[in-house]
Amino acid sequence: MASSTTRFWLISDIFGDQRNVDILAAFLRSVLDIPDDEYDQLTIVDPYLKKGYEDDKYAILDVKLHTVSGSIVHIELRVLADMEARTIYSQSKLVTEQMASGNKWSSIKRTITIIITDDIFVPEGDKYHHQFRYRTKDGLEFSDLTEINTLDLKKLPPDDDSTDLWYWMKFIKSDNEEDMDMLATRSPQMKKAVGVLKELSADEATRLRYEAREKARRDLESQIEKAKRDLEAQIEESDKKWKSVVAVKEAEIADKDAEIADKDAEIADKDAEIADKDAEIASLKAQIAGK
C-alpha cells in the first residue's frame, strides 16, 4: 500500500475518475445532507481545477462536479489547512462564475465545498466534520446557497462512531492493510474503492508517477521556504546595518549636542564676566560722579 502524501494522490485519482462516480456518490452521502436523488447522476466537470494561488501546491485533489439539479460540489484534499481566505475565494468564484451575461439571480445553483485536510482546519473541539453556512448566532439560516464542509483527518477517533463518514475518512487516512480489509466489508462501494486503491498502489508506473509528483511538490515547497529564509536573512542584515547607521548618527548628534552645551556654558561664562565688568564700570562712574 502507498503511504503519506503519495497515498493522497492515489485517492485523488479514485475520486476524480468518472468511472468511480459510484464511489464518489457514497462518500458524498456520508458528508452532505442533500436529497438522496441528487446523487442519481453525478457529472465530474473538472477533475483538476485551474490553480489560482501560489499555495495551491498544497492541494492534491481539486475536483468539481454537478448533481442532478445542477448543484455544484467542489472537493479538495489538502496537505495543509491554513487556507480560510483561499477557501472563501474559491467558494465565491463558484457562485460568480454562474452569472453569465443576462442570467437572473434565481439561476444561481447551490455551491458546496468539501475540504479534506491532513492538518487541523478547525482547532476548537474534537469534531472532525464541520458544516458552515450563512446563519445567525442563534442558528437562524439566511440561505443554504453556499456551504463549506471541513474534514480534519487528524481528528478522526481511533474507534468508529457508527457513521459512514468515519469509514470513508479511515479509507482516506489509513495505509494499514488490515484496515483496508475491514473497510472492504463495509459496502459494495467501499469494497470497490479498496480494490481500485490496491490496484493503483501495485502499479509500478503509477507509483513512480505519484512519487515524482510528491518530490516536485516538496522541492517547490523547499525552494519557497529557502527563498523566505534568504529574504528574512537579508531583511535582518539590512536591519542591523540600518540600526548601526542610526547608532552612529545618534552618537554624532550626541557629540554635537555636547559641543553646543559646552559653547553655551562658555557663552554663559562670558556673559557673567561682561556683567561683572559692567558692574565695575558702573561703580567707578558712581565714584567719579561723587567727587
Examine the pLDDT at 81 and tell me if it is beyond 60.
no
Angle, CA of 63, 64 and 66, to the nearest 5°: 145
Residue 115 exposed, middle or buried by CB count within 10 Å (0-12, 13-18, 19+): buried
pLDDT given for residue 50 in this prediction: 42
Specify the number of domains making up the chain: 1
pLDDT given for residue 275 in this prediction: 83
pLDDT given for residue 217 in this prediction: 63
Grid cell for residue 166: 468515519
Distance between CA atoms of residues 13 and 24, nearest Å? 11
- Give 222-261 pLDDT, tens digit per residue: 777 888 888 888 888 888 888 888 888 888 898 898 889 8
Highest mean pLDDT among 70-84, 92-106, 180-194: 180-194
In a domain, 78, yes or no: yes
State the average pLDDT over residues 58-82: 75
In a domain, 222, yes or no: no
pLDDT given for residue 125 in this prediction: 86
Global pTM exceeds 0.75: no
pLDDT given for residue 1 in this prediction: 46
In a domain, 108, yes or no: yes
Specify the pairing of strand 111-117 against strand 72-78: parallel
- Give 5-36 pLDDT, tens digit per residue: 667 778 888 888 888 889 999 999 999 988 88
In a domain, 156, yes or no: yes
Residue among 45, 39, 37, 38 at smallest CA distance from 18? 45
In a domain, 184, yes or no: yes
- Give 152-188 pLDDT, tens digit per residue: 999 999 999 989 999 999 999 888 889 999 999 999 9
In a domain, 48, yes or no: yes
pLDDT given for residue 56 in this prediction: 44
pLDDT tier for residue 57 given thresholds of 50, 70 and 90 = very low
- Out of 74-83, 93-102, 211-220, 257-266, least confident range: 211-220
Residue 124 lies in domain: 4-202
In a domain, 84, yes or no: yes
